[in-house]
Amino acid sequence: MNVKDLKSFEAVYEERGINQAAQKLFITPQGLSRNIKMLESELDTVLFERTKQGVRPTESAELLHERAGILIREFEEIRNGIQQLKNEKRLLRIGCACGVFNLLSFSVIQKFIDENPEISVEWCEYSNQEVKERLMDSTIEYGFVVGAWKEDGVKNRRLAGCRVCLLVYEGHPFYDLEEVTIDLVRGEKLILMNEYFHMYHDFLKACEVRGFKPLIAAKTADANFQYQLCRQRTGLAVVPDFAAEHFRMDHMRAIPFRERLKWEVYGVYKENNGCYSVIRALEDFLRSYSVDFPEE
């Protein structure tokens, strides 16, 4: 049994058809059928039964499906980890959660690149969760994420932070307040960044602790759209306070929460990889750029 055969099996299982799975894998249906037959022969079982609609997984296929994904992921992690070891002195791949460069200036990363020409730096933006997944499967060495990541074997360095505010339009009863509370927004129509953003989950948890679910009028991946919807009085927007710097704030206010809700950027890496010279170099560089605000 090899990973190629397992990936072939997974594709047929998910697509419920040889032709569809073959297209997904960019191989011929005949080649894919051979891979499945070899796997069936090795396991001494039938994995799929043909139907008019395609194929139907057998009980053996259901059992294999429960294990195959784990085996594939473990192999990929091993392969990626070996590539990390080969490149640990010259390649640094960085994953950045969307939005972190609003608070942690990209010029910091550019300065590191300029001062370390011997290190080849690759970086790309992903969702917060995808940065974590890529770090764990070793397709990146370092990540910039929003929110502390409490995971065994992961090191966190807090780099920057700001307060979370409520964006309020003129004429709303909250407009003249100096601060708002989470309880105060109970029943208010709210505009939030969507589930791919850490702040969405933090805010929902804060409301849940107080015994209510927020009334969500809209969810988006675009902070500018949050602003536009709020300006059109669709609802009030929950935003990091730096967002107000990018908006025209006449007849609008960003009011902080009394509960000191925070939007924080962390640098993260696998503890086992802390010996890599490229990670040590970035960590040493970032240490002088932490901009923590005082706890209140």
pLDDT tens track for 55-72:
999 999 999 998 888 888
Residue 80: its pLDDT value, please?
A: 67
Query: CA 20, CA 22: separation in Å to the nearest integer?
Result: 5
3-state SS assignment for residue 104:
coil
Residue 293: its pLDDT value, please?
A: 40
Residue 259: its pLDDT value, please?
A: 92
The dihedrals phi and psi of 240, each to the nearest 5 degrees, come to -65, 150
pLDDT tens sequence across 77-89 = 777 677 767 766 6
pLDDT tens sequence across 183-207 = 999 999 999 999 989 899 999 999 9
Residue 273: its pLDDT value, please?
A: 86
The dihedrals phi and psi of 27, each to the nearest 5 degrees, come to -130, 170
CA 27 to chain centroid, in Å, comes to 31
**Whether the predicted pLDDT of 253 surpasses 70:** yes
Task: Give pTM, 2 decimals.
Answer: 0.69
Walk me through the domains of the chain, giving residue ranges and CATH numbers.
3-82 (1.10.10.10), 89-160+264-289 (3.40.190.10), 162-263 (3.40.190.290)
Residue 295: its pLDDT value, please?
A: 39
**CA quadruple 41, 46, 49, 50: dihedral, nearest 10:** 10
Residue 288: its pLDDT value, please?
A: 79
Residue 276: its pLDDT value, please?
A: 86
The percentage of the chain sitting over the pLDDT mark of 70, rounded to a whole number, equals: 95
Average per-residue pLDDT in the chain? Answer: 89
pLDDT tens sequence across 154-188 = 999 999 899 999 999 999 999 999 999 999 999 99
Q: Tokens in use for 212?
A: 């209510």
pLDDT tens sequence across 96-150 = 998 898 888 889 899 999 999 999 999 999 999 999 999 988 889 999 999 999 8
